[in-house]
Structure formats: structure tokens, C-alpha cells
Structure 1
């Protein structure tokens, strides 16, 4: 499969009051093997301009350098997303419509319509991670993590999931053991951290998959490693977004520390 390409919108439909599902097609996707937590980069063109993709030769670093070389007024905005589902040459991607000032992805999703075109980089099998073989896999995240959690739950029967969303209207049908947590006006992440801290997990080996708002993910990970004594290399974690910051803002010291630990842990990541 070509590492980059153009995705054309074929359908747009609401999933919940705050989530919209967009179906894309690209003939290059037909030969791509699906896997859980399959991620790709979406490239949103500047308003009124077509998508400009740098040349791709299979080397991600050279591609990224070529991407940065595109003039700023023509360069797409790049954001990471998880494939919600696959059907031959189509993929579904869920967009959470964040409240307040809309970023480029939310603004695009609110007006998306069949025929619209985005660029993509990936999905790339080089970033595929093995699923846990532990007796219990703890999944925890917010609404931005639902697509990945859904694909993980469809593949395993040893998972316990905690998902924090705005309210009951944001729940989605998911397989397996899922504990829904409703903020109902409470601070983002508070109920998720409290629920994981209070969770009584089955006996046996454990592993965790965590994603969502970065500071919340950090708090849950600290609890598992620092308070429960879990080994760092059984906790896979990703901060999808940051409060009051975008992916274009400079990384905070906490972000840099997380990145360093992820690099360290990736060498010894265990799926058990």
C-alpha cells in the first residue's frame, strides 16, 4: 500500500450528539490488513485550497521533512486518528466535536460532506503493537479513545474498560465489560482516575492500555505504576490531546518526559 494518498468522503453521520462518523474511500486501502488500534495521520488543507501532499518514498522521516518544507500557507494541518472500522477500500473515522473554539479537525468535521477530500499518511504496519496476552487487560480513556478501545475489545475477551464521556448520550455500543463514566459537568478526567483507582481487578497477570487527555492518562499511569506497583512495560499509554493546547503547540516538560518513557518502554514492551 502507498504510504500516502487522498481520502474521499462518501458518507457523514452522527453517532452521538458530540461525535460524527465519516466514511472515506481510497482504492489503496483495499490491500491493507486491519489490526486493533490502527492509526493514521489525516491532513486537512487550508481553507479554499486543495490538499498538497509531499512526495513519499517509504521513509517517514524524509516524508516529514518534505511536509515541513511545504510553504506554510499551503501546508495541510496534520492530526492523528484511529480507524474505527474497515470494509475493503473504505474506512470509518470518528471525530469528537469539541466544545468551545473549534480546531481545524473539529471545524472540518462539522461541515464535512460527501465528495470532500483529505490527505492521509498511513496506516503503517511498522507502528502495529501486539495485543496483551495478560490475564486481564485494563483499557481506560475518554471519548477520543473510544474508536481504539472498540477495536481492541472486538479482538480480546480479557479486557475491562473504563470510558469517561460527557453524559449518558455519549455512550456507544461496545462489546465486553465496559464501565461508562459520565462527567455531567465535573472536571475532565476526574471520574476516570477515581474509577480506575477504585477498580477491583481479577487475580492474575495484568496489562493496561491508556489513551485520551494527556494529564489524565499520566495520572492513571502513575496510579498503576506508583500505587499498584505494575511494571512500566505492561502499561501502554498515549496522550491524544492536551487541555488548552493543540498538537501544533510546543511540548511541555511533562510531554517530553512521557515521550522519553515511551521510547524506553517500547524496547521492553510486554503484551503479558
Structure 2
């Protein structure tokens, strides 16, 4: 993560291993992997935008998870770096899209922008795009980023496609009496997903214009909201491309008078 005030909350469950049991290209820019296995029965399900460190087997069958730490704090990270590169998994941050405890299954959505330059394709997207059914993975639960502000049922949620699972998860698990606004920017109209949200929360989808900077239109939409959207106590969450996250927080705090502690924000990635 880049700029962020998201608190890392390590769970006592430690390292959990699973296997990719289903894989599907669900829209032009998203692949959904479903992981499962008996070890997932130990998962601490929190809902909302619960996120985790995902260790992926980019070294194929040679990848080993047994030498990883149960935590991804400084000590755990140094231990990870000391692992042999030939067997070391790659680790990235992801959000739980859905968890089904009765089946011990979890859905994870991956943004998979096509790139003509392999150097810019990253690690997770090519792996997910290969639809790697049968691959083993490992997870370290890191808690939730969204925090409800006491004394209000009003929310303000903003994200680009990388934050879509987080925003939709928060909407799904909000109290039924919640009110407010959610703004979600995606690169293609077909990337929009079904929304479960309180009736009092207005959900605005924005389809990004070709060649526009990711997150810029979502930030413009946030600035265009009526003053009443941030008038008084509100629980805000802004995530995605770095300029969207930091620019959105700056707008709410400096121009709308929202308290700093009421805005959870995270730059998931940075546009070069």
C-alpha cells in the first residue's frame, strides 16, 4: 500500500493455506478465483472490506509456504525476504469478495488490465488470468480498513476498480438504516457488479473515459456531491489509485470540514 491510514490487525489464525477450486473471467477487467479447503474453516470472517496478504505460487510446484511467518509484521517480512527466491511465493494485498463458511470457500476478484508490455503486467494479474485451478495459496488475515464513526449512520465511499471489492463489501455489511453515497469507477460498463446496499445509500457507477487517468472521474464526482453529503458526522472510505485516495481525503478534510479520523483512505496503487 502507498499512502494510507488503514490499521493492520493481525489475527491469531496465522497462516492459512487453501487451493484454487474455481476460476472465471467474470468481466473484461476482472477474474474471480474461488479458493477452498479445510484450513479455511479457521478464517476469522469480519465482512466489510476485510483484507489479507495473499501468497501466490509464481514458482509453480516449487513454491513453499511452510517456511513463512504467521504474521506479516516487520519481523515476518524480513523472514520472508530471507527465503530462497527459487521457492519463495509472491505476496500481494487483496480484499475478500465473498466468504462462505458453510463451504469453507472464499472468492477473490483480481483486476486484470491487458498490457502489451509484460514488464507492466505485474505478478498477480497474469497468474489469475491463467485460471490456475489446483494451485496452492496462503493467506494472512489483516483485518478491516473501514471504521464506522460513532454517532452517525451516514457513509461516503469512493473507489476505482481496485477498490470495488472493498466498497461492495462495505455496502453489503452496512446496517440497514445507513444513508449516504458510494461512487465506484470502472474501466468498462461490463465491469459493474450486482450491489447489495441499504436503500438509503445512493450508488453511482462511473465508466471511465478512454485514456483518462484512473480515479480522476471518481474524484470529480466526489467534489460534485452536494454539501449535505458531508455535512455533519460521516464515515468515509476512499481507496484506489494514489491520487484518488489522497486527493479525496484532502478534499473532505480541507474543503468539506470532515474530521480526519472520520476518513479511512488507502492508495492501493500508483499510476506511473
TM-score bin, normalised by smaller chain: 0.7 to 0.9
Q: Please give the alpha-carbon distance, in whole angstroms, between the structure 2 residues aligned to 1:135 and 1:57.
A: 36
The alpha carbon displacement at 1:25 in A equals: 0.9
Q: Which residue does 2:245 correspond to in 1?
A: 217
Is 1:131 paired with 2:155? Answer: no
Q: TM-score, normalised by structure 2?
A: 0.81
CA-based RMSD of the aligned residues comes to 2.1
Asked if 1 retains the 8 angstrom alpha-carbon contact of 2:13 and 2:43, the reply is: no
- More displaced 10-residue stretch of structure 1: 133-142 or 91-100: 133-142
Structure 1 CA distance for aligned equivalents of residues 149 and 169 of structure 2: 13
SS in 1 for 2:235: strand
**Is residue 183 of structure 1 aligned with residue 208 of structure 2?**
yes
In structure 2, the residue matched to 1:90 is 105
Higher relative contact order (CA 8 A, sep 6+): 2
DSSP-derived class of the 1:236 partner: strand
User: In 2 relative to 1, CA 55–160 (structure 1 residues): closer, same or farther, beyond 3 Å?
Assistant: same
**Cα gap change, 1:142/1:2 in structure 2, threshold over 3 Å: closer, same or farther?**
same
Q: Deviation digits for residues 30-85 of structure 1, max 9, x if unmatched?
A: 13342211111111233344332224355844322211111233322110000000
Q: Work out whether 1:15 is the aligned partner of 2:34.
A: no
Query: Structure 1 residue 214: deviation in Å?
Result: 1.0
Q: TM-score, normalised by structure 1?
A: 0.81
Structure 1 residue aligned with 2:132: 113
Which secondary structure state, in structure 2, belongs to the residue aligned with residue 72 of structure 1? coil
The 5 Å alignment of 1:60-75 reads 60-75=73-88
Match of 2:165 in 1: 147
> Is there any run of 5+ residues in structure 2 with no aligned partner, and where?
1-11
Number of equivalenced pairs: 242
Contact map agreement 1:46 1:73 (CA 8 A) in 2: no
CA distance in 2, matches of 1:57, 1:18: 32
**Residues 217/55 of structure 1: CA separation in 2 closer, same or farther (3 Å cut):** closer
After TM superposition, the structure 1 stretch with the greater mean CA deviation from structure 2, 37-46 or 209-218, is 37-46
Change (3 A) 1:55 1:108: closer
Q: Mind listing any 5+ residue stretches in structure 1 that lack a counterpart? A: 245-272
Tell me the CA shift for residue 232 of structure 1: 1.0
Contact 1:40 1:123 in 2 (8 A): yes
- Residue deviations 1:214-247 (CA, integer Å, cap 9, x gap): 1221111111111112111111001111113xxx
Question: Which shifted more, 43-52 or 30-39?
Answer: 43-52
- Residues 148-163 of structure 1 aligned to structure 2 (within 5 Å): 148-156=166-174, 157-163=178-184
* Alpha-carbon contact 1:22-1:94 (below 8 Å) kept: yes
Structure 1 residues 71 and 139, CA gap change in structure 2 (3 angstroms) = same
